[in-house]
Amino acid sequence: MGIVNVTPDSFSDGGRYDTLESAVEHGRELLDAGADILDIGGESTRPGATRPFVAEELDRVVPVIRELAAGGALVSVDTMRAEVAEAALEAGARIVNDVSGGLADPRILDVVAGSEAAYVAMHWRAHADRMRDFTDYSPDGVVETVRRELGERLEAAEAAGIPRARIVLDPGLGFAKEPHHNWELLQQLDVLAGLGCPLLVGASRKSFLGTLLRHDGVPRPVGEREHAHAALVALLADRGVDILRVHDVRATRDALAVAAAMKGPA
């Protein structure tokens, strides 16, 4: 899944693709590099970000989705809002990627249920301006707690009428998580796979990679985390992850090719 952030303020690529032309061109580049899915988002979820108005979010994503879907791309919309999900589906999106797992705007579950779309439910606890206050995973630890809380979101989605076969789960790396929480979740993805749905993982350019690579106490800047991410992708190849949400599709494809070659002929 290649990322197209149509936002002025994303932590990783804010402002680079915030016009229709640049976003569509970027989407096409990601497809050429081997993306199977394009994830189009109009709201930055970086820690501390403030939310755009609904009209702003709609203006950002709908034209980009319409154009890329019309060109034959499998498009996902990255939104927490029912209204945006509905407009995106009308414009041709076939996946709703909801980082809040239905908590921010529960009506989004009804919108997806009333469509044929797939639904990505990510583990989430609070909006970006407050998520740093929600990193306590005691007493059970992050893996067990995320499994339980994601399980609740899965139940809510099914109760709203979304069949389990259309639901994908995501540990939500970096969302109300300290760096060590992200590593524990990555180490024990099998626990989340036990919930019985495909898994999506989004680690690309995230700050826990920057923290890992810090030098003299300074985290590695966002644009210089790609090699570490490619190494992670290669190591995740055998861990039952179904969808990787990434900025650099080519590096991801290369890492997967290396991992496949090391496994030997099928």
- Active site positions, annotated: 206, 245
Q: Which is nearer to ligand PMM, 122 or 264 (CB)?
A: 122
The contact pattern for ligand PMM, residues 24-63, with x = CB under 6 A and - = no contact, is ---------------------xx-----------------
Residue nearest to ligand PMM (CB): 202
The contact pattern for ligand PMM, residues 90-109, with x = CB under 6 A and - = no contact, is -------x-x----------
CB of 101 to ligand PMM, least distance (A): 9
Stretch that binds ligand PMM, among 6-14, 15-23, 61-69, 256-264 (CB under 6 A): 6-14
Check residue 11 for interaction with ligand PMM (CB under 6 A). Answer: yes
Question: What whole-number distance in Å separates Cα of residue 59 and Cα of residue 141?
Answer: 40
Question: What whole-number distance in Å separates Cα of residue 201 and Cα of residue 199?
Answer: 7
Contacts of 169 (CB under 8 A, 6+ apart): 120, 121, 122, 123, 150, 153, 154, 192, 195, 197, 198, 199, 200
Q: Which is nearer to ligand PMM, 45 or 115 (CB)?
A: 45
Question: What whole-number distance in Å separates Cα of residue 170 and Cα of residue 239?
Answer: 14
CB 9 within 8 A of CB 15: yes
Q: Terminal CA-to-CA distance of the chain, rounded, Å? A: 24
CB of 114 to ligand PMM, least distance (A): 21
- Asked whether the bond before 52 is cis by omega within 30 degrees of 0, the reply is no
Residues 70-89 touching ligand PMM, rule: CB under 6 A, are 78
Check residue 120 for interaction with ligand PMM (CB under 6 A). Answer: yes
Question: What whole-number distance in Å separates Cα of residue 140 and Cα of residue 160?
Answer: 28
Cα distances (Å, whole numbers) of residue 43 to 74, 80, 211, 231 = 20, 9, 24, 28
CB of 161 to ligand PMM, least distance (A): 21
Check residue 252 for interaction with ligand PMM (CB under 6 A). Answer: no
Among 80, 84, 160, 173, binds ligand PMM (CB under 6 A): 173
Residues 129-168 touching ligand PMM, rule: CB under 6 A, are none
Place of tokens 């990322």: 3
Q: Which is nearer to ligand PMM, 156 or 260 (CB)?
A: 156
CB 205 within 8 A of CB 222: yes
Q: Which is nearer to ligand PMM, 124 or 137 (CB)?
A: 124
Check residue 202 for interaction with ligand PMM (CB under 6 A). Answer: yes
The encoded tokens of residue 104 equal: 């921010």
161: how many CB neighbours lie within 10 A of its CB?
Answer: 11
User: What residues make contact with ligand PMM under the rule CB under 6 A?
Assistant: 3, 5, 10-12, 45-46, 78, 97, 99, 120, 122, 170, 172-173, 200, 202, 205, 245
